[in-house]
Amino acid sequence: MWIWCEWREVWNLRTKKQILRYLKKERSPWELINLVDSDLNEFVERLKELLEEGLVESINGKLYLTSKGEEERDRLNLRVYNTRCDRCEGRGIVKDPFGVLDEYKKITSNRPRPTAEYDQGYIKEEDVMRRIAFIYERGDLENNEIIVIGDDDLISLGMGLTELPKKIEVLEIDNRLIEYINRVAQEYGFSVHARRFDVREDLPEDLFKKFDVFITDPVETIEGITLFLSRAASGLKGKGSSGYFGLTHLEASLTKWREIEKRLLEMNFVITDMLRDFNVYPMKDNLEIAEKDYLIYRRIYELTGSERIDTDFYRSTLIRIEAIDEVRPIVSGKVELKDEIYVDDESLVTAKATRR
């Protein structure tokens, strides 16, 4: 029992500390989510405890430290410092090395709006360019054949604008996106081609072992991400091929992260880079897919009275993997999966309250 209690304390304390630290001034719960490292379930639990213990209070949806909370903050020696670079927004990578950001924004301005049907939601155009810049830096862009599985971010068109890859193949389930990508690609003369694909099916036969690089943003259930990464992996040539995908802390606990990492190693990948908070989802745009239907919105509203998501709180870590030998996808062949691809107990944004 003694050991169990000790673990428990370390585990909880980090999130509590980050909350108390950043409540140096009043903040909305959405701003706070942006500043802590934990997943959403843990965030809600810790915030609930702090409210119950009287260290934090909630007034009209804003959070404040009580005087008891201030004492605790001082006891724990918590202080606010600005650690992030303001020029590159803390990413280290500049947002427009190729000089195509304006054109890219023009291209994406009429994009199909995100739909809950396929759990869409896209990252900021600046971050798409940063992601491409990082892929470029690694030597994974020039003259390469690249497969993109699911492209509501429209990264295929951004890569097309750099004129660097040899060929980009997009697999998408959403016909609106397929048409949009193919139309723009034809208009601009990009080597980008999109076709319909359902992740429950195997890759089309002509795409097996044909690509140097994959890019995808999988759903974050264990079964779902294993499926996405297996399909993506089966498109890779082999040793030296690489893959890029996003993973959140918000909807994937670290226990889940560990299982995902284990499966990546099993597939003969090594993890080479993990860039925290590299991808930011602009809430203003993605909110079209029904703010009030987010499970997390309901839980935060009940806890704090916050009525509006006022911060781009949803962000993900960019992960790069590289094959060190023949790639061994965990899943192959057709699978039957329904909601369990998309939804588990940690899916507090992706899963819509209405769908549960």
Q: Which of 227, 231, 251, 249 is nearest to 343 (CA)?
A: 251
CB of 125 to a copy of itself, least distance (A): 17
Q: Of 71 and 201, which CB lies nearer to a copy of itself in the complex structure?
A: 71
CB of 79 to a copy of itself, least distance (A): 7
Residues 319, 245 contacting (CB under 8 angstroms): yes
Tokens encoding 38? 């934990």
Tokens encoding 336? 């039957």
Q: How many CB atoms lie within 10 A of CB 70?
A: 15
Q: Of 117 and 326, which CB lies nearer to a copy of itself in the complex structure?
A: 326
State the Cα–Cα distance between residues 18 and 38, nearest whole angstrom.
10
Q: Which of 130, 190, 184, 120 is nearest to 153 (CA)?
A: 120
CB of 165 to a copy of itself, least distance (A): 8
Amino acid at 189: G
Q: Of 36 and 171, which CB lies nearer to a copy of itself in the complex structure?
A: 36
Tokens encoding 281? 């989802």
CB of 355 to a copy of itself, least distance (A): 29
State the Cα–Cα distance between residues 145 and 138, nearest whole angstrom.
15
CB of 112 to a copy of itself, least distance (A): 29
Tokens encoding 256? 């889940």
CB of 351 to a copy of itself, least distance (A): 23
Question: Containing H/E element for 7?
Answer: helix 2-22
Q: Of 81 and 110, which CB lies nearer to a copy of itself in the complex structure?
A: 81
Q: Of 267 and 296, which CB lies nearer to a copy of itself in the complex structure?
A: 267
State the Cα–Cα distance between residues 29 and 135, nearest whole angstrom.
34
Q: Of 143 and 186, which CB lies nearer to a copy of itself in the complex structure?
A: 143
